Structure 1
Amino acid sequence: MTSTDPRPARPFGTVGTAMVTPLTEDAHGIDLDAAQQLAVHVTEHGNDMIVVSGTTGEAPTLTDVEKLELARAVRAAVGPEITVIAGVGTYDTAHSIDLAREHAKLGVDGLLVVTPYYSKPTQAGIIAHTTAIADSTDLPVMLYDIPGRTGTPLAYETLLRLGEHEKVLAVKDAKANLQQASLVMEKTDLTYYSGEDALNLAWLSIGASGMVSVVGQVAGDLERKMVEAVDRSDLVAAREAHHGLVPVVEAIMNHLPGAVAAKAALALQGVLPHAAMRGPHVPADADQLRALAAALEEVDGIPSCDPARRPL
């Protein structure tokens, strides 16, 4: 029987947070208690999916042991009803396979596999790399197409090929090629998740399953409202949520690296005890904190600044 449900398939959930990695104040270690508290916080504010060890989680600066400790802690904190996805993609196929297998032992729900960065492989190389990772565990895979960071986009033909793999279920797209994605969705069973917060509504409007969002850990309730409005075909309400998010999306995504801005915003909200970063990132300065605080105060329906942390 053909389904009459107008909503897209959602193999990994709907509103996902690309979670920052809380560090100790000296940045030498991970603050696992703060990570668990943050994971619970985002699930209480509209999120049904958490991605750990992604770009926003400062994954390139984390050791393998830290990545596994983080995934284990978050999995334990949120329980089985929340989808936990672990970023395991690197520019080394063998290393990525090792990470995938070790994370699979922890009970995560899926793997985020970014296009190999720096190496700039051919499309054949990308297919071989991704297939090897997908074949290494029983976990489903979400591709991460972000050529601005990797230097290499996933080609249309590559997406069609990878879409044939039984474990490759979705694409997190930060390439902004909605036409290509529409073609892929017509030709395969791949589902799409917006990987660019400014385009979340645009992606939802063409049938994306949801988003993996940096802003979601700061404003997840509004993102949830947007998704629910699209599901009930209420464009007016969806636009209202989208426009409500504009100040915080602008502040977090367009003036600082997302990891820096999101961590600073969470500290301003009182969700994190501080906003320590690992190099090469540095924390937001006083002017940047004031701009972030102003943006948080401008958006209705999200946690505002903790009065004790509001910058002068």
Structure 2
Amino acid sequence: MTTDPARPFGRVLTAMVTPLAEDGSIDLAGAQELAAHLVDRQAHDGLAVLGTTGESPTMSDGESHAVLEAVIDAVGDRATVLAGVGTNDTAHTIERAQAAERLGADGLLVVTPYYNKPPQAGLLRHFTAVADSTDLPVMLYDIPHRSAVPIEVETMVRLAEHPGIVAVKDAKGDFGAMAWTKARTDLAFYSGDDMLNLPILAMGGVGVVSVVGHLVGPRLAELIAAVEAGDLARARAVNDSLLPVYTGIFRTQGAILVKAALNALGLPAGPLRPPLVEATHDQLAQLRIDLADGGVQL
């Protein structure tokens, strides 16, 4: 719901988990409750649903549509709802993008096509075709450690010429590439790697699409505000306080330990779908230690 063109999707967004019932079915009421908790109590002005942390690879299109509709109904009047629609099939991604537009999403999160390793010309064609298919603004999701292929600077520059491609969720960790892209485009950069939140913000990032935001949204908002005020000493102090949280959540796949934490806090999360597995007893014990060191008590 943001009106700031320099920050098209808000400041603090979380890549929201998808709550499941014990039988593995989608918990739509839980999704609404969790979305409202993040917006109303965790200082979020946006949510990214149906991403990897939301277990989208194991969800049918029908389930994805139901989750998106439920979240929009719960918080769409007071937060930006960004729909993860990316796949490694351009035609399928377009179908998902058009469905998200029909359901009322505010924008699209489109990941680099994974596994089939397209060349840069293929990435350019893919992202452009998706952006052409709806009137929604697009956030590119650059995450080569999952997709195998980075979006190179020259490709970013060409994609930025499209009026519908307005932002990047940067999980690449290549600060030189980020600097060159920012120097040559008006793309809004969002941190997509919690451990790199501070350096990305310090280089001109406008916000975060976080996993730890499920637990520490107000402190992420404080981090962003400190950077924007030019108070880097304060920003470093806030970031240092968050390091145990970053480390704790990402000792294994983020969705596993975030769901473990949410379950321990009595918030909607539930189990995970295979091939993801539940946190072990030892992992949960370590998570409690890590989060306590970061000021979060389970």
TM-score (norm 1): 0.92
Alignment partner of 2:263 out of 253, 260, 267: 267
Q: In structure 2, how many angstroms separate the alpha carbons of the residues matched to 1:208 and 1:70?
A: 29
CA deviations over 1:249-279 (Å, ceiling 9, x no partner): 10101x110111111111112212x530000
- Deviation digits for residues 191-246 of structure 1 (CA, Å, limit 9, x no counterpart): 11011000100101010011100111111111111011111111122111101111
How far is the alpha carbon of 1:299 from its aligned partner? Answer: 2.4
Q: CA deviation at 1:296?
A: 2.3
The DSSP-based 3-state class of the residue aligned with 1:105 is: helix
CA-atom RMSD in angstroms: 1.3
Partner of 1:89 in structure 2?
A: 86
Q: What is the DSSP-based 3-state SS (H/G/I as helix, E as strand, rest coil) of the residue aligned with 1:172?
A: strand
Supply the distance in 2 between the matched residues of 1:42 and 1:233 (Cα, whole angstroms): 27
1:256 corresponds, among 252, 259, 265, to: 252
SS of 2:103's equivalent?
coil
Residue number among 139, 153, 158 corresponding to 1:156 in the alignment: 153
Task: Report how many residues are paired.
Answer: 294
The answer to whether the aligner puts 1:126 opposite 2:131 as a matched pair is no
Residues in 1 aligned to 2:291 and 2:156: alpha-carbon distance in whole angstroms: 37
Could you tell me which residue of structure 2 aligns to residue 4 of structure 1? none
**Superposed counterparts of 1:8-47, under 5 Å:** 9-27=6-24, 29-43=25-39, 44-47=41-44
1:103 partnered with 2:103: no
CA contact (8 A) 1:8 1:209 kept: no
Instruction: Write the mapping of 1:50-199 to structure 2, written as runs, cut at 5 A.
Output: 50-199=47-196
- 1:8 deviates by 9.2
After superposition, the C-alpha distances for 1:37-87 in whole angstroms (9 at most, x for unaligned) are 111111121211101110100110010001110010001111322010001
**In the alignment, residue 278 of structure 2 is paired with which amino acid?**
P
CA contact (8 A) 1:111 1:140 kept: yes
- SS of 2:197's equivalent in the other structure is helix
Letter in 2 for 1:215: V
Q: Moved runs in structure 1, 4+ residues, more than 4 A? A: none
Tell me, what secondary structure is at the counterpart of 2:66? helix
Contact 2:47–2:81, Cα closer than 8 Å, also in 1: yes
The match for 2:272 is 277
Q: Unaligned stretches of 5+ in structure 1?
A: 1-6, 306-312
Structure 2: how far apart are the matches of 1:64 and 1:48? Answer: 26
